[in-house]
Structures are given as structure tokens and as C-alpha cells.
Amino acid sequence: MRIRIAECTVRYEGRLDAYLPMATRLIMVKADGCVAVHADGGAYKPLNWMNSPNTLSQDGDTWTVVNPKGEKLIIEFGEVFFETSREFGEDPGLQKDGVELELQRLLAENPTVIEDGLALTRREHPTPVGPVDLLCRDAAGGTVAVEIKRRGEIDGVEQLTRYLEFLNRDTRLAPVRGILVAQVIKPQAKLLAQDRGITCVEVDYGTLKGADSDLLRLF
């Protein structure tokens, strides 16, 4: 990684045009070639940048970075206050613990939390437009498609609508109704769901985890 703290102007010509007047900034060039220009504030996002792959050409006080799409980043330097360079070696990378998959697992094991009498038929039930999170049967024996989101938004309603469209063509399953389950559901999503006859259910992650522990304690 190469780091330079210097006065500079920056011009970006690509998906849009942008310009940074002369000021002191930090310029970071990573081992993969990506370039970032940081101000001393404004969160982690750089003011301007160019991801790899790209080619950096240096001509006196001007650096020009071009990528294969023809997008350009032009940095013109004034006074350079500081510069250093160092090899880091490979990074072992980030380990994450997911939330949405955990939510699906918990609900698959406790479908009655969604609705009284609901029973799981199949998880990740395939359709031509993608897998339905949970396919269930309700107390009355009807088929129910459940879409699980961490946050329920319009996209989730659209997705479930597409699934229902295809599921209802299968005469062995039809009629199929839909339930959108999320920790929070946005008002606009609720509105659209209601309009399409889709039920909205908000679940509390803590309660769900508690219910799961209770269940485990029985064994």
C-alpha cells in the first residue's frame, strides 16, 4: 500500500463528472491498484476513487487512472506533505455471522410463531423465479408461501408476488396465499402487500430466540 498526504485537485469523468478543488487529502493506492482519495471526515467513503482493475500513469505532478470502461480519475498534486509505502501480505479476510439465515432457520423450526396452526412443508422450495423461503400448510389445509426478510420493504412484496404467480399455476398447490415475515415492515410495503392480499407478520428476534431455546430445553 502506498500512502500520500498532499494538496491536490481531483477530476472524475465516468458514470458522472465530478471535481474536487485544491485541498489537503490522503491518497491511498492499494496492492490491487485501486485508488482512493480521502478527506479528513465524512465517514469511510472516499471523496473520489477508482477500483481495480485499472492502470495508473504518473506524469510529473499528475496521476491519471483509467479503467477498462474508459472511466478516468485525474489527480493533480500541489505540495506533498508525506509519503510512505509498505507491503501488507495477504489478508485472512472477514468472518461474518449472518442474521437473515438464522432468522429463516428459527422460523422454519417454529412456524406457529408466524401463524397459529402453520406447519412447514419445505424450506427453499424452488420456483422458476427463485426459491420460496418457506412453503407451509395452514390450519385449514391451504398452501402458504412465506417470504422472510430482516426488513420488510416493497422489494420483498414484489418478490413474494412473483413466487405466488408461479405457485398458483401449479394445480396441485393452488390456491396459494402469501405471508411476508420480517422484524420490521415499512408502511409502504404493508400497503402494497394488503393491496395484493398478502399478509404481513412482524416477529421479534429476541422472542424467537427464546422460543427456540425453550424448544431445545424439552429434549
The dihedrals phi and psi of 216, each to the nearest 5 degrees, come to: -65, -35
Q: Please tell me the distance from the alpha carbon of residue 183 to that of residue 80, in angstroms, as a whole number.
A: 50
Q: Which is nearer to a second copy, 99 or 174 (CB)?
A: 99
* Residue ranges in 155-184 that form contacts with a second copy under rule CB under 8 A: 158, 162
The dihedrals phi and psi of 211, each to the nearest 5 degrees, come to: -60, -40
- Record the cell numbers describing residue 202, joined without a space: 412482524
- Work out whether strand 72-85 and strand 62-66 pair parallel, antiparallel, or are unpaired: antiparallel
Contact call for residue 218 and DNA (CB under 7 A): no
Q: Exposed e or buried b for every residue in 182-193, given b needs 16+ CB within 10 A?
A: bbebbeebbebb
* Residue ranges in 151-190 that form contacts with DNA under rule CB under 7 A: 151, 153-156, 159, 186-188
Decide: 68 and 53 in contact? Cβ < 8 Å: yes
Binding span for DNA by CB under 7 A among 7-15, 56-64, 77-85, 108-116: 7-15
CB count, 10 Å around CB of 102?
A: 15
The strand pairing partners of 144, in sequence order, are: 136, 177
To which residue does cell 418457506 refer?
134
20, interface contact from a second copy, DNA, none, CB < 5-8 Å by kind: a second copy
Q: Which is nearer to DNA, 117 or 150 (CB)?
A: 150
Site string for a second copy, 23-62 (x = CB under 8 A): xxxx-x-xxx-x-x-xxxxxxxxxxxx-xx----------
> Which spans of this chain sit near DNA (rule: CB under 7 A)?
12, 14-16, 18, 42-45, 48-51, 67, 71, 73, 94, 96, 98-101, 129-131, 149-151, 153-156, 159, 186-188
> Which spans of this chain sit near a second copy (rule: CB under 8 A)?
1, 3, 5, 15-21, 23-26, 28, 30-32, 34, 36, 38-49, 51-52, 81-82, 84, 86-99, 128-130, 150, 154, 158, 162, 188, 191-192
